[in-house]
Amino acid sequence: MITNQKDQQKRLVVGIGSALVDILAHEDDDFLVKTRAVKGGMKYVDREFIELAVSQTSKKPTIMPGGSACNTVIGIGRLGGSARFVGKSGNGEMARLFETDLKNSNVDPALFKSPSPTGRVLSIITPDAQRSMLTFLGAASEAQPEEITENCFENAAIVHIEGYLLFNEDLIMAALKGAKAAGALVSLDLASFTVVETSKTFLKKIVKDFVDILIANEDEAKTFTGHGDEIKAVRSLSENTQIAALKVGERGSFISHDGKIIKIEAMGSGAAADTTGAGDLWASGFLFGLVNGYGLEKCGKLGSACGYEVCQVVGANIPEDGWQRIKKLLEE
């Protein structure tokens, strides 16, 4: 299925994105109004805004490493795959927590350092399991195009880029060009419908020129393509890519390749406790399958299994028993 690699034996997935620490808070919709968060979306704020919002939470939030591309490569590492994360962090306690978690998850940390604080995201989880994000990029916003060198992509089969980097056009262009120069496929997760709205013109150009694998959820796909119909949306997503994946939550996903569309059923039946990281971990399973030569249907099933398991816990870290259930799929 992977057709343009110089070396078909490569298995490394490189994630490029914002090095962020997740702050998870369970609150009601009134809290979203109070903090002016966008329901189901993402909004950039300053450090003081997040600190004020955290001080108003009803109970102490949970803190853990996060960031979209980071969540994805951690999942690949936990599956036993080869993974690297490229991003910029600070030098304090949160930065140490972030780097240690990468190493413990079998991920090679390629982190640029800054004296600024490590970025963080307040993820507000409402009773419907939706998560709405307030993001302070901190050191992550200081990543420079010249820091993205060929060493970042050494031995890469796929370079997975989070859509949040669209707000730094020079940086994402450096990543895209570096990935192509290394002979890797480019995977892009559209990240958030608010990101797509803001960057739509530029986004369409880079998808056409650079992207091989395009991943989106329903809201992102509708904003990008203009289609609310699932089949029309995934077909439109795949017009300029090798593979397009449309995630439709509890209804599963659709994968489009070579003019054909595959429907993947959702895994499990338990109600979601939290959707934080669901799309990121779906990408973990899917991309792990691709670099290991699985067929698209099995890649999709593995993505669904990862997405389901992460929705059963708070945050984007699947516990060990969840990984064991997922790995059983690999033995089939």
Kindly compute the dihedral angle of the four CA atoms of residues 238, 274, 125, 276, in this order, to the nearest 10 degrees: -40
3-state secondary structure of 207: helix
The pLDDT of residue 4: 47
The pLDDT of residue 26: 93
The pLDDT of residue 2: 54
Average pLDDT score over the chain: 92
Inter-residue contact 19 to 89 (CB < 8 Å): yes
The pLDDT of residue 167: 86
Q: Could you tell me the domains of the chain?
A: 12-20+66-118+140-331 (3.40.1190.20)
Q: Which residues of the chain have pLDDT under 50?
A: 1, 3-6
The pLDDT of residue 9: 66
The pLDDT of residue 275: 74
The pLDDT of residue 151: 94
Q: What is the CA radius of gyration of the chain?
A: 18
Cα–Cα distance between 51 and 49 in angstroms, integer?
Answer: 5
The pLDDT of residue 10: 82
pTM of the model: 0.89
The 3-class SS string of 105-172 reads CCEEEEEEECCCCEEEEEEEECCCCCEEEEEEEEHHHHCCHHHCCHHHHCCEEEEEEEHHHHHCHHHH
The pLDDT of residue 296: 97
Cα–Cα distance between 140 and 112 in angstroms, integer?
Answer: 9
The pLDDT of residue 91: 86
